[in-house]
Chain A
Amino acid sequence: MRTAFINALVELAKDDLRILLLTSDLGYLVIEPFIERFPDRFINVGVAEENMVGLATGLADAGFIPFIYSIAPFAVLRPFEFIRNGPVYHQLPVRIIGVGQGVEYGFNGPSHFGVDDVGVLRTQPGLTIIAPVDDIQAKHSIQKTHNLPGPIYFRLSKDSFEIPELNRSFELGQTQQIGNGKDVLILSTGAITREAIRAAQLLSEHGLATTILVIATIAPAPVSDLIEALSSFKYAFTIESHYITGGIGSLVAEVVADHCLNIKVVRLGFDALLNKSFGSSAYLQAAHGLSPEKIALHIIKTLEENV
């Protein structure tokens, strides 16, 4: 996804001289196509994420569109106050690229996990948050937000894949739907949608038909799409590679509360510190109930207990 994103950025930068790429010394074997094509519009600022945000703010204020690249926690959490005071308060087109959705950096450990980036950034008015689901959405999302005047956070997976069921769609502020089952509603964001799709297949084997609503635009929240979907079910299961507080589980719960919808929200995500045992992304997600099998089981149990 990150490679698809950079390739799309190269295409945009051919015609738009305002586009710059800054990195805090990360992006090996990903950002080279941009560096080779536009060496004068690429800056490795060194291992200094706070300064990268400050620099990007000054550059954006002078008319550039700087994309700043790092692993999600270093792109978001380290310089968060500077993101707030710079591009957010001053409403400038800084594009923050945070790589590593959830626990994708598995064996690197919790320092590298993006399990709270959405929750932190969702507090900021005027900051667009986009979590593409696959390579195609990554490409479309950068194209369709090219001239957006305010700041954007792109939460990118480090893996490369396409989800054919997604029908290649992305529209800012809208959800995308996979399936139209009437028994189960799953809301997911990002690459973990693959697990949601497999869980839906398992549910289907149990006679349960699923609708998956993909939330690729987390802010501005796709409220009308959510209301429409949430109004047709008794249970909504949110699935995200993120702490259960602050991410799309919280977002869906807010929409339910704000609009008095008669639906119970079950939030699946990380509900405890990730400091007990370490491993691959698949291991960590499974250990926290986010494998397709555990997701399906959780949904079946919830529905059976509440018949």
Chain B
Amino acid sequence: MAQEVFSSHIRKIILDQAKRANVGHIGSALSVADIIATLYFGVMKISDPADPDRDRFILSKGHAALALYAAFFLKNWIASEMLDTYCSDNTLLPVHPERSLKGVDFGTGSLGMGISYAAGAALAAKMQNSKRRVFVLVSDAECNEGIVWEAAMFAAHHKISNLYVIIDLNGQQALGYTHDVLDTAPLGKKWEAFGWQVKDVDGHSREEIINAIQSCEHELTRPHVLIAHTTFGKGVSFMENKIKWHYWPMSMDEYRLALENVERLS
């Protein structure tokens, strides 16, 4: 299956499940659909989610978990019946990912901790002489959190080069645009100043993401960060770059229109 198809499937699942459960965070999940599709279907080595030497993935921006659940479904790690429990009572698939669901490497929801956990997990891999890598997807606004920079300083100092941070740079946060709320720019220069190898990529391009990660593999003394330029709500024209769609659920008309948009994209 081509990556575009995985991305398209993930987007469709996001819309279907968000509508069925009548919940929001749709724009955030659409923003990272291509990144997650590329990681799970083109980058990470995970033969089995229980393999101790598998690559790890931490969705530090846990509110985009619906995109992750969609990837798990496409990996055949969860059945459609389980996917349909998303945000229902007695589910293992709440808004933010929890470790009780097989495949979730770390439960998130509290912004900032994912990268700190990941630095520890990547350091552990090095100490255990394992080749496993740790990928962390953080939001741009998550970089408001102090712990992100504590972890960034630590990972650079200890040359944790099996750690890959991908920043979903969509320029939005819950209550506004990042340049209005708390400007993160120049984000790449900040990470570079903290001692990281920095790559700018189109966060909706499988090719650019894969090429950037491959080009990082030769850098053995620095951790890596991909500044993934993304569009919030990518693929659904009326959601793109609109603050409302951080929290808002869809009406039936909006759902139909969104589906048409996504199908056209594929």
A residues apposed to B, CB below 8 Å: 43, 45-46, 48, 50-51, 53-64, 81-82, 85-86, 89-90
CB proximity of A52 to chain B, nearest CB, Å? 9
Name the B residues within 8 Å of A57 (CB-CB).
106, 113, 116-117, 120
Asked if B106 contacts A90 (CB within 8 A), the reply is yes
How many Å lie between the Cα of A287 and that of B125 in the bound state?
A: 51
- Of B81-89, B147-155, B244-252, which stretch is located at the interface? B147-155
Name the B residues within 8 Å of A53 (CB-CB).
116
A62-B124 contact given A51-B147, A90-B106, CB 8 Å threshold: yes
Asked if B113 contacts A85 (CB within 8 A), the reply is yes
Give 9 nearest A-B pairs by CB, closest first: A58-B120, A54-B116, A62-B124, A51-B150, A55-B120, A58-B121, A48-B150, A58-B117, A50-B147
Name the A residues within 8 Å of B147 (CB-CB).
48, 50-51, 54, 82
Nearest residue (CB) in A for B122 is: A58
Can you name 12 extra interface pairs (CB under 8 A) apart from A48-B154, A58-B120?
A43-B158, A46-B157, A48-B150, A50-B116, A53-B116, A58-B106, A58-B118, A61-B106, A62-B121, A62-B125, A63-B128, A90-B107
Name the A residues within 8 Å of B154 (CB-CB).
45-46, 48, 51, 55
CB proximity of A150 to chain B, nearest CB, Å? 14
Name the B residues within 8 Å of A86 (CB-CB).
113, 117
A59-B113 contact given A45-B154, A48-B154, A85-B107, CB 8 Å threshold: no
Name the A residues within 8 Å of B150 (CB-CB).
46, 48, 50-51
Asked if B124 contacts A58 (CB within 8 A), the reply is yes
**Looking at the complex, which one of A54, A56, A89, A90 makes contact with B151 (CB distance below 8 Å)?**
A54
Contact bitstring B174-190, A, C-beta under 8 A = 1, else 0: 00000000000000000
How many Å lie between the Cα of A54 and that of B113 in the bound state?
A: 6
Name the B residues within 8 Å of A56 (CB-CB).
120
CB proximity of A64 to chain B, nearest CB, Å? 6
Categorize the interface residue count of chain B: 20 to 34
* SS class, residues of chain A in contact with chain B: helix
Nearest residue (CB) in A for B148 is: A51
Name the B residues within 8 Å of A58 (CB-CB).
106, 116-124
Asked if B120 contacts A54 (CB within 8 A), the reply is yes
Nearest residue (CB) in B for A79 is: B147
How many Å lie between the Cα of A81 and that of B146 in the bound state?
A: 14
- 6 A-B pairs whose Cβ atoms sit less than 8 Å apart in the complex: A51-B151, A55-B116, A55-B151, A82-B113, A85-B109, A89-B107
How many Å lie between the Cα of A145 and that of B44 in the bound state?
A: 37
Nearest residue (CB) in B for A89 is: B107
CB proximity of A263 to chain B, nearest CB, Å? 41
Q: Which of A43, A58, A59 has the most CB of B within 10 A?
A: A58
User: B217-264: which residues lie under 8 A (CB-CB) from chain A?
Assistant: none
Asked if A51 contacts B107 (CB within 8 A), the reply is no
User: B91-143: which residues lie under 8 A (CB-CB) from chain A?
Assistant: 99, 106-107, 109-110, 112-113, 115-125, 127-128
Name the B residues within 8 Å of A55 (CB-CB).
116-117, 119-120, 123, 151, 154
Asked if A59 contacts B107 (CB within 8 A), the reply is no
How many Å lie between the Cα of A34 and that of B117 in the bound state?
A: 24
How many Å lie between the Cα of A61 and that of B120 in the bound state?
A: 9
Asked if A64 contacts B124 (CB within 8 A), the reply is yes
How many Å lie between the Cα of A50 and that of B110 in the bound state?
A: 13
How many Å lie between the Cα of A304 and that of B82 in the bound state?
A: 66
Asked if A85 contacts B124 (CB within 8 A), the reply is no
Nearest residue (CB) in A for B134 is: A58
Nearest residue (CB) in B for A49 is: B150
